[in-house]
Structure 1
Amino acid sequence: MSDFIREVDEEYRQDQFRRFLSRYWIPLLAVAVLILAAAGGWRFNQYHRQQQAEAAGARYFEAVDAYAADPKASLAGLDALAQDGPAGYRTLARFRAAGELGRTDAPAAVKGFDAIAADAGVPQELRDIASLRAGLLVVDTAETAELDRRLGPLADANSPFRSVAREMLAAAALKRGDDAAAGKRLDEIEADPLASPDSRQRAGFMLGVIRAGKTATPAAAAAAIPAAKPADGAEPAVKP
C-alpha cells in the first residue's frame, strides 16, 4: 500500500512540474538567456579593458622612451594618452609629462601638477603628491605666502605627507634666514612619532645648527629638500 501511495505522489509531483513548465517556460527561458548574456558581456568587457590597458601601456612606454631623442614628440604622446587613455594611464601620463617639463620649463610643469592637484576625479593621495611635486619646483623661488598656501595643508598633522612638507617649509625658511619658522617645522617633525627615522635625523641636525646660533649655509638649508625630492621622471604608483 505504501508503494502505491509513493507512486501516486510521484506522479502527482511530475504532473505539477509539467504544468509549471508549460505555464512558465517562456519566462524561465528568458531568465536563462539574460544570465548567459550578462556573463558573456562581463567576459567581453574584461577582455576589452585588458586590451585597452595593454595598448595604453605600450603607448606610454613608447612616449617615455622617445623623450631623449625627441622631447616634443614624447610630450605630445603623453598628452594624447592623458586625453584618451584608460583612467590610470591618463593620470600616469599627466604626472610624467609634468615631470619631464620640470627639467626645462618649471612654470609649465607647475601648471601641470596644479591641474592634477585640482582634479576632483583623481584620488586624493595622488592629488597631494602632485601638490608636493609643484611645491618642490617653486620652493627656492616662491614667496612665503605662496609656499604656505601650497604646502601648509600638506604639513597638517592629519596629512600622510606632513614630514616631507614640513622639511620643505623648514628648508625654505632657513634659506630666507627665518630660523624661528624653520625651528617650528623641525620641532613638529621631531615630535611626530610617525615621522620616519631619516626625517627626524635631518630635523635634529638642522635644529642643532639653529640652536647653536650658527647661520645656516645654503648647502645646509637645502639638505632637507633633496631627500624628499622624487627622482627625475619617478611617478607615483597608479593603477591602469
Structure 2
Amino acid sequence: MSDFIREVDEEYRQDQFRHFLARYWVLLLLLVILVLAAAGGWRGYQYYRQQQAEAAGARYFDAVDAGTADPKASVAVLEALGRDLPAGYGLLARLRAAGELGRTDAPGAVKAFDAIAADARIAEEFRDVAALRAGLLVVDSAEPAELRRRLEPLADSNSAYRSVAREMLATAALKRGDDAEAGRWLDAIVADPQAAPDSRQRAGFFLGLVRAGKPAASSAAPGAAPAPVPAAVPEPASTPAPAPAHP
C-alpha cells in the first residue's frame, strides 16, 4: 500500500512539474539567456579593462624610457599622459611630471605636488607622498609656520611617513637654531618602536647633541639631512599591471 501511495505521489509531482514548464518555459529560457549574457558581458568588460591597462602602461613606460634633453618637453609629455591615462598610470605620470619639474622650477613643482595632495579622488597614501615631496622642496626656504602646516599632518603617529616628516621638521629646526623643537621631533622618532632602525639611530645621535647643548650649526652638519624621500610612488614592474580602479 505504501508503494502505491508513493507512486501516486511521484506521478502527481511530475504532472505538476510538466504543468509548470508548459506555463513558464519562456520565462525560464529568458532567465538562462540573461545569466549567460551577464557572465559573458562581465568577462568581456574584464578583458577590455585589462587591455586598456596594458596600453596605458605601455604609453607611460615608453614616455619614461624615451626621455628628452629638454626638461620642459619631458614635463609636457608627462602632464599630457596624466590627463589622458586611466587613474593609476595617470597618477604616476602626474607625480613623475612634478618631480621632473622640480629640477628647474621648484615653485611650479610645489604647486603640482600640492594639486595632487589636494585631489580627493586619489588614495590617501599617494596624496601623502605628494605632500611630502612638496615639503621637501620647501624645507630650506619656507617659514617655520608654513613648514609645520605642511609637515605636521604627516608627522602624526598614524602616518606611514611620520619618521621622514619628523626628521625634516627636526632638521629645519636645527638649522634655524630652535633646539627645543628639534629635540621634540627627534625624541618622537626615538620613542617610536615602529620607526626604521636607521632613522632612530640618526635621531638618537642628533638628540644627544641637542641635549648636550651643542650649537645648532654643528647639529646641522653634513649627514643631518632627513632620510631620502622616494622620487615617486613605487612604479609597477616591467610588465604593467592593470591600473587601479578609479576611486
Q: TM-score of the superposition, structure 2-length normalised?
A: 0.87
How far is the alpha carbon of 1:150 from its aligned partner?
A: 0.1
Aligned to 2:92: 92
- Displacement of 1:157 in angstroms is 2.3
Deviation sequence 1:108-135 (CA, Å, 0-9, x none): 1111110111011111111111111100
Q: Which amino acid aligns with 1:181?
A: E
Q: Name which of structure 1's ranges 221-230 and 104-113 shifts more when overlaid on structure 2.
A: 221-230
The answer (yes or no) to whether the contact 1:67–1:75 under 8 Å persists in 2 is: no
In structure 2, how many angstroms separate the alpha carbons of the residues matched to 1:54 and 1:217?
51
The farther-off stretch of 46-55 and 97-106 is 97-106
CA distance in 2, matches of 1:67, 1:153: 35
> Does the alignment pair 1:236 with 2:247?
no
Matching of residues 140-219 of structure 1 within 5 Å = 140-217=140-217
Q: Whole-Å Cα distance in 2 between the matches of residues 80 and 121 of structure 1?
A: 18
By how many angstroms is 1:224 displaced? Answer: 4.2
CA gap 1:198/1:128 in 2 versus in 1, 3 angstroms: same
Give 2:28's aligned residue: 28
Q: Which amino acid aligns with 1:99?
A: G
Shift of 1:103: 1.4
Matched AA of 2:125: E
CA distance in 1, matches of 2:233, 2:225: 17
Sequence identity of aligned pairs in percent?
72
- SS of 1:27's equivalent in the other structure is helix
Relative to structure 1, the CA distance from residue 221 to residue 229 in structure 2 (aligned partners, 3 Å threshold; closer, same or farther) is: farther
Who is 1:14 aligned against? 14
Question: Structure 1 length as normaliser, TM-score?
Answer: 0.90
Structure 2: gaps of 5 or more residues: 237-241
CA distance in structure 2 between the aligned counterparts of 1:126 and 1:70, rounded to whole angstroms: 27
Q: What is the alpha-carbon distance in structure 2 between the residues aligned to residue 222 and residue 107 of structure 1? A: 25
Q: Note if contact 2:117-2:128 (Cα within 8 Å) is conserved in structure 1.
A: yes
Q: Does the 8 Å contact 1:170/1:185 carry over to 2?
A: yes
**Offset of 1:188 from its aligned partner?**
1.2
Give the direction of change, closer, same or farther, for the CA distance of 1:16–1:121 in structure 2 (3 Å limit): same
What SS does the corresponding residue of 2:110 show, helix, strand or coil? Answer: helix
- Tell me the matched-pair count: 238
Q: Which runs of 5+ in 1 are unaligned?
A: none
Trace 1:36-185 onto structure 2 (pairs within 5 A).
36-185=36-185
> 3-state SS of the aligned residue for 2:225?
helix
Higher relative contact order (CA 8 A, sep 6+): 2
SS in 2 for 1:60: helix
1:224 and 1:27, CA in 2 relative to 1: closer, same or farther beyond 3 A? farther
Question: Partners of 2:32 and 2:176 in 1: how far apart?
Answer: 73
My pick for the range that moved more, 140-149 or 177-186, is 177-186
Aligned Cα RMSD in Å? 2.2
